[in-house]
Structure 1
Amino acid sequence: MLRVVVLISGGGSNLRALLEASAHADYPAHVVAVGADREADGLAHAEAFGIPSFTVPYSSFPSREAWGDELLTTIREWEPDLVVLSGLMRLLPATVVDALAPNVINTHPAFLPEFPGAHGVRDALAAGVEQTGASVIVVDAGVDSGPILAQERVPVLPGDTEHSLHERIKPVERRLLIDTVRGIATGEIDLAGL
């Protein structure tokens, strides 16, 4: 059984989907803890599923590196096989990425390498493209630049707003995340071989 720690910053809709999937006996991964970099609404999902949670508030540390050191120490207490960034709106320090690599994955609401960064949906709309998408990647030292594990196109419809487009991307993101974690757990996806 693959042990997963999920890190969030917000509402945790991807987290919720992963918790629902892992509640099924035939799903080969289990979320062992949920962490956040601030008080996040999504921690309520962990509580609802009886999953322990922790908060390492970014604002409590003098630097990103100091925050990262404490975050890494806390993550390691759970002995995860995989760390999933699920709406964590903060770049992990390189020391954290290096310590956990390659077993850190992230979801992104764009068809990478198109529209990396915090505003992928807004940037796609601003560019006037006809389609964008969702991706699951391995986290590396860059911004949304790691190896792509799964991705799927999502059309941009006439009249789309950032909200309406993001709402159509989210279910695709959730499905890709659940399938990718399953693939890692079963060995279909070999992170070490990337």
Structure 2
Amino acid sequence: MEATAAAAVRVLVADDHPVVREGLCAMLASDPGIEVVGQAGSGEEAVALTQRLVPDVVLLDLRMGGMDGVGATGHIRRQTPHTKVVIVTTYEDDSDILRAVEAGAAGYLLKGSSRAELTGAVHAAARGETVLTPSLAGKLFRARTVEAPLLSGRECEVLQWVGQGLTNAEIGRKLFIGEATVKTHLLRAFKKLDVSDRTAAVITALERGLLS
């Protein structure tokens, strides 16, 4: 019912191995709520196709010839800010995960993830939620070792709701404050946490013990 009631999530798949791309597309095709709108074989092609197709989510390989996944993520987030990027890779290196999140990726999945994990991650990213394979969470947290800043109680409340996937308008209704006020609290939290987007803010706050 939900898949037919709402428009399908439009996805671009980018990987430099055709067999991997086809495999990911086949897994996504099993979900009627997901539509694969394009495939890219390089970071540069992913950036160009994202600008042309404006998908909801880009599934992006981390290591490709030429522009890598982190570089492509940065370009996509700057040029098409409403498009979410989820890194899908075989690599679990702490620094790679951190670089991807700091570049603006909404999540990080391993290529061994199940069909359900992959499709669930696409839907979650499209809703604005943070997507991170559980086994990678500890690695990311260990990679962030800077001192915890002081967030106000309201900033923590806002980030708590962001972590549950709520939009600014929805958070405003929950807290009985205006959407613009929610945005102000978020921007202040971003500055204190030294991050530039919602996903990185939630992950950083969790790692530093600022959210329950």
| Bigger helix fraction | 2
Q: What TM bracket, shorter-length normalisation?
A: 0.3 to 0.5
In our comparison, the structure showing a higher alpha carbon Rg is 2
| Bigger strand fraction | 1
Larger relative contact order (C-alpha < 8 A, sep ≥ 6)?
1
Provide TM-score, normalisation by structure 2.
0.42
